[in-house]
Structure 1
Amino acid sequence: MLSHRLRHRIHIQQPEKTQDPQTGEEIAGWQTLYLGLKPLNSVPAEVLTGAGREFIAADAKQSETTARINIRWFPVDISLFYQCRILWDGRVYDIHSIETDLTGRQEWRLRCKDGVN
């Protein structure tokens, strides 16, 4: 992996449920994903966005953009990534698929979408 390609910084978040102390209701939120003791809030990445598309859903015009995000490989349970989301440049990307390079130990390739969930 060429380090000069990793010019973007992404923030990886995982879902978090907390309980409201007054009502007892579960509140869904997001928190930074940690790898051991290291927060994944400024991960060097290469973000390649594709062409967006517009469509009509729920009687309103919606838009969606796809992206491929490449990051350095690190040991992690791959099923954990599917629950996470990525913040980059004011956008929220949902992870739809995860691939690795041929060696399996150089980079993660995340296929993501933003827009309508």
Structure 2
Amino acid sequence: MSNPMSRPMVYSLGCVCTLMLAGCAPAATPREPRQDIPQEAAVAAVRALPEVQAYERTLIEAGAAAHVDVQLENGEWLVQVYEVKDGHTATFNWYRVDKETGVVAPEFPE
């Protein structure tokens, strides 16, 4: 009488059981290392916004200049666009730039 389970089938079952018991899972696909947006790119993205370009043009026409400061806050770039007027800063707006995606969001939408 022949055995109902053939050798290849027994071998396959043995491999599956061994992997299950060992807690093995298929190898994960390696991810590319995350590339954060550098500070300079965050500033460039903010300066490229139409409202910031218009603000800078207005200041240039008035004989003034726009200033940009940037700092890291909670994993995002926080970019301040402002002018120095009469010894103090006058902020145009703050912008958050996502370090992973580069998406720019104004703190105070118009």
Normalised to the residue count of structure 2, the TM-score between the two structures is 0.27
Normalised to the residue count of structure 1, the TM-score between the two structures is 0.26
Structure with the largest fraction of strand: 1
Larger gyration radius, structure 1 or structure 2: 2
Structure with the largest fraction of helix: 2
